[in-house]
Structure 1
Amino acid sequence: MMRIVKPKTKRAKRMLEKRAPKLDENQKRLMLLQGTKVSSLIKNVMSDLYHLKKAGGNAVKFSKKNDKIRPFEGGGEAPLEFFSSKTDCSLFAFGTHSKKRPNNLVIGRMYGHRVLDMIELGIEKYKSITELGGGRKSAPQVGSKPCFAFLGEAFESKPELVHLKEMLLDFFRGEVVESLNVGGLDRVFVCAAAGDKVYLRHCGIELKKSENSKFPSVELVEVGPCLDFTVRRHRKPSVDLRKESMKAPSKTAKKKVKNVKGDSLEGKVGRIYMPKQEVEGMALAKMKGLKRERRQAAAAAMGAPSEVDDHTVRAEGASSAKKLRV
């Protein structure tokens, strides 16, 4: 049965909100695990993968050996799904070593903390980052995006290599951005297929001054990791699960707020419409000093004609004028 987790603290509530489904999902995280027997080559490969994905906390590496993980066997995926739900990781890499499958690396994707698909690689030749002297050049910068180059018709015709192409693009694509500066294109993954082997090279882009042109010359320098491997086993996602994972939520358009606009300098600016105010008919507060009796008493004390006498004189003058006209 599905258990609904209710947060007991504010920190747990923030964590659940961060993991909740969103219109714009977060960058996928990588989970690195190892079996009971692991060769030194596979350990170095997983260390370099962690080095490439650890920026921004997008990778989790487990050092403990796991003997219950059997990716391509029935029921052997349960530990992977358990660790995925605990760490909120959508990608995983599982390394093992045996006589039947030496230097074995299984990479896969998760959907809803369930195994979506995976592919098994047999590493035959490997050059690490430290061996090539990549160092900081191999580490992705904040906001950078790698380029990809797939060489060979097999990436369009062979099902296992088409699957591998999708997997590599999902593993190393980085953050989804709308616009990118040319300076952010500092790395390139070159993947070539020849026969049964696949050659993966991770190179850094260096712009050098050219003599005959105003545009700089582009040179590729291997920074590692560089792999030569073969594709052993692969499992594609089921039709229903793939269809469910490819569904895109309908982005509801924001309702337009009337009489409100935004400005880069003033910020949020609103406009208010006020009806015409009739001040003459408004009930104003009357002060004691403005009462008629006090005004008349003050005028009599000063010997000036009061407002009442002034009005009567004006009225008598107007009536006599009318009589004379008649």
Structure 2
Amino acid sequence: MMDIKTPKTARGKREVEKRAPKLEENGKKTLILHGTKTSNVINALLTDIYHLKKGNAIKYSRRNDNIRPFEIGGETSLAFFSLKTDCSLIVFGSHSKKRPNNLIIGRTYDHQIYNLVEVGVENFKSMESFSYDRKIAPKTGSKPFFAFIGEGFENVEELKHLKEVLLDLFRGEVVSNLNLAGLDRVYVCTAVSPNKVFMSHCAIRLKKSGSIVPRMELVEVGPSMDFVMRRNRFPDEGLRKESMKKPSEVNKKRKVKNVTGDAIQGKFGKIYIPDQKVGEKTLPYKAKGMKRERREGKTKEELKNKKLKLASY
């Protein structure tokens, strides 16, 4: 039997509550790890990714010998680190003669490896190698644009898989409203061939255009690199179905009375108006037209005598 450890301090209880399942999950954190051997290119790339994800990333600088994600049993350490740091995204860098400048990006579900993408890094340029005005540098926590250029991102399964992982890695927290001042960067990914992708990171510079909409210019701020596709590990079907499940509280929609929806014309509503019984309404004052009823109520003789009386005068 395994012992279940319960938190004994207030701080421990708060940490457990943070990691508990929620209807609206917290932002995903990224764990950055080094392999047994790394090159200068991989070290610089992992440092740049850490700066781009600052605030939502944890970086370990120690070498890890037992991490081999694509081998049987080699993913145990990744699951352990994911549970320890409560990270849903993993970036692992290594270097060997067989796979030089190797980068592995993976996602986890319930601290189990969900999927993995392995790419080789070529023509790498770090953020320090670009000279630009530091005033236009992207701010920490800003939301980026993404531009995926090329038919390969729609037709090739490996590139579609890479697109999903890159979106999940760099998009940040999910928000409902955005301030235009917070949109100051863009990631441009171009599918050069079915197994090669060029990726660059640019800052957005807003200039006057003579209208309300400003003119946008892109200034490359780095990092930039070429990704060469190597290996892919697609999610297991059972784990994928489990991760796609939605709680009953989300699926349950509250029914609104007398409201119907139409795909073309939008929302329709029925309004109940009670019968207006006008005949039973009492008027606040007597109108002048009511005097006519008095004349009609008098007899003909009284009207004749009144006329004769007026003629005598």
Please classify the TM superposition score into its range, dividing by the shorter chain length: 0.7 to 0.9
The aligned counterpart of 2:115 is 117
Shift of 1:140: 3.7
In structure 2, the partner of 1:218 is: 216
Shift of 1:139: 4.5
Tell me the residue number matched to 2:169: 171
| Contact persistence 2:136–2:204 (CA under 8 A) | no
* Structure 2 counterpart of 1:98, one-letter code: S
Give the Cα separation in 2 of the matches to 1:138 and 1:243. Answer: 40
Question: Secondary structure of 1:106's partner?
Answer: strand
Q: Could you tell me how far apart the structure 2 residues matched to 1:114 and 1:28 are?
A: 15
**Structure 1 residue aligned with 2:24:** 24
Cα deviation digits, residues 118-150 of structure 1 (max 9, x gap): 0001001111111114667555434x3111110
Q: Which residue of 1 aligns with 2:200?
A: 201
The aligned residue for residue 10 of structure 1 is: 10
Gaps of 5+ in 2: 255-313
| SS of the residue 2:21 aligns to | coil
How many angstroms apart in 2 are the aligned matches of 1:99 and 1:87? 31
Do 2:39 and 2:101's aligned partners in 1 also have CA atoms closer than 8 Å? yes
Contact 1:129/1:138 (CA < 8 Å) preserved in 2?
A: no
Q: Distance in 2 between matches of 1:65 and 1:21?
A: 32
CA shift digits 1:200-259 (9 cap, x unpaired): 01111110123x54532100011111111211001000011011111122336899xxxx
Show the counterpart of 2:41.
41
Indicate the residue corresponding to 1:74 in structure 2: 72
Distance 1:224 1:25, change over 3 A: same
Report the secondary structure of 1:251's partner residue: helix
* Counterparts in 2 of 1:136 and 1:165: CA distance versus 1, 3 Å: farther
**Structure 1 pair 139–86 and aligned structure 2 pair: CA distance change class (3 A):** farther
**Using a 3 Å threshold, how does the CA distance of structure 1 residues 239 and 200 change in structure 2: closer, same or farther?**
same
Query: Counterparts of 1:140 and 1:242 in 2: how far apart (Å)?
Result: 34
> Measured at CA, do residues 14 and 163 of structure 1 come closer, stay the same or move farther in structure 2, by a change above 3 Å?
same
Which residue, out of 174, 183, 186, partners 1:185? 183
- Structure 1 188/37 Cα, relative in aligned 2: closer, same or farther at 3 Å? same
Q: Distance in 2 between matches of 1:2 and 1:23?
A: 29
Quick check: 1:138–1:224 contact (8 Å CA) kept in 2?
no
Secondary structure of the equivalent of 2:14?
helix
Aligned AA for 2:54? K
Please report how far the alpha carbon of residue 185 of structure 1 lies from its aligned counterpart in structure 2 after TM superposition.
Answer: 1.2
2:295 aligns with none
- Normalization by structure 2: what TM-score? 0.76
- Give the secondary structure class of the aligned counterpart of 2:37: coil
CA–CA separation in structure 2 for the residues paired with 1:109 and 1:35: 18
What is the DSSP-based 3-state SS (H/G/I as helix, E as strand, rest coil) of the residue aligned with 1:223? strand
Whether the 8 Å contact between 1:108 and 1:115 is mirrored in structure 2 is yes
SS in 1 for 2:213: coil
* Secondary structure, counterpart of 2:222 in structure 1: coil
Residue in structure 2 matched with residue 275 of structure 1 by the alignment:
none
Question: Equivalents in 1 of 2:3, 2:32: separation in Å?
Answer: 27
C-alpha contact (below 8 Å) 2:52/2:140 kept by paired residues = no
Q: Rg bigger for which structure?
A: 1
Alignment of 1:225-304 (within 5 A): 225-251=223-249
CA RMSD, aligned part only? 1.9
Q: Given that residues 206 and 221 in structure 1 are in contact (C-alpha distance below 8 angstroms), is that contact kept between their aligned partners in structure 2?
A: yes
Residue identity opposite 1:17 in structure 2: E
| SS of residue matched to 1:26 | coil
1:277 counterpart residue number: none
The question of whether the paired residues in 2 share the 8 Å contact of 1:51 and 1:139 is answered with no
What runs of 5+ residues in structure 1 fail to find an aligned partner?
256-326
Aligned to 2:98: 100
Larger deviation: 197-206 or 180-189? 180-189
1:139-150 to structure 2, matched below 5 A, reads 139-142=138-141, 144-150=142-148
Aligned length: 251
TM-score (structure 1 length as normaliser): 0.73
Residue 54 of structure 2 corresponds to which residue in structure 1? 54
| Deviation of 1:3 (Å) | 4.9
Partner of 2:290: none
Amino acid at match of 2:199: L
Q: 1:136 to 1:169 in 2, by over 3 A?
A: farther
Runs of 4+ in 1 over 6 A off after TM superposition: 252-255
Question: Which one-letter code corresponds to 1:33 in the other structure?
Answer: L
